[in-house]
Amino acid sequence: MYRKVEAEPEPVWFSMGSAALILIDMQRDFLEAGGFGELLGNDVSLLRSTIEPCRSVLEAARQSGLFIVHTREGHMPDLSDAPESKLKRGNLEVGIGDQGPMGRVLIRGEKGHDIISELRPKPEEPVIDKPGKGAFFATDLDLILRNKNIETLFVGGVTTEVCVHTTVRQANDRGYECVVLSDCVGSYFPEFQRVGLEMIKAQGGIFGWVCSSRDFLNAVT
């Protein structure tokens, strides 16, 4: 049975069995003080408005049996999967791999790297560890989604113009229909948030659709 979600630039039809919720990088390193986001010079409080809408959609997705995937950006402790160019970027005093208030910055297994407690994944929900901005680069995500016959992705997470955009563009090129949940994605830059969402849905939905968490909840519950 197909369902309709109200979205821009037009409604999207999907079936529950071939849709997934993907939450991108809702990690302490991006959302809490002392993490990578703050070390880059950002005000992390701007992202925190995404937590409650993400919690609502996660809860609804669990209740309705939707497939759920979480992602985390980060690197192996020996940094062998981190390009030199990424490590050098920004000339940070404390950067990727260095000791910060929440452990080594953006390193797998460290406190800062993990997903915030409000959105802690259930054991049956895959957590994709990704070394890049896009969740399809150097990960098993595409294989996992194809094995589940997933066609539609509802997307939340941070940040809108970096890891969400990169992932949605990669997904779109792989044939997935992406619906970005406007209040579940956030940016350190209000202007990038606005324009980031505009870019997705412009030109007839050039690489996706945009709806609110309320539209999502209306469609799945």
> Active site includes 25?
yes
The active-site residue, picked from 54, 129, 130, 215, is 130
Opening angle at CA 116, ends 86 and 155, nearest 5:
75
d(CA 201, CA 207): 7
Binding stretches for ligand TIU (CB under 6 A): 25, 30, 40, 73, 133, 158-159, 162-163, 188
Task: Look up residue 133 and give its two tokens.
Answer: 């901005």
Minimum distance, C-beta of residue 63 to ligand TIU, in the bound complex (Å): 27
The active-site residue, picked from 54, 163, 178, 211, is 163
The single residue listed with the structure tokens 């955009």 is 165
Nearer to ligand TIU, 70 or 133 (CB): 133
> Active site includes 130?
yes
d(CA 181, CA 41): 26
Residue 113 · residue 74 · CB < 8 Å? yes
Residue 56 dihedral angles phi and psi, to the nearest 5°: -65, -45
Nearer to ligand TIU, 50 or 213 (CB): 50
Residue in the shown chain whose Cβ atom is closest to ligand TIU: 163
Nearer to ligand TIU, 22 or 163 (CB): 163
Minimum distance, C-beta of residue 106 to ligand TIU, in the bound complex (Å): 8
> Active site includes 142?
no
Nearer to ligand TIU, 60 or 135 (CB): 135
Q: Where are the alpha helices (DSSP H) in 113-205?
A: 141-147, 165-173, 190-205
Active-site residue list: 25, 130, 163
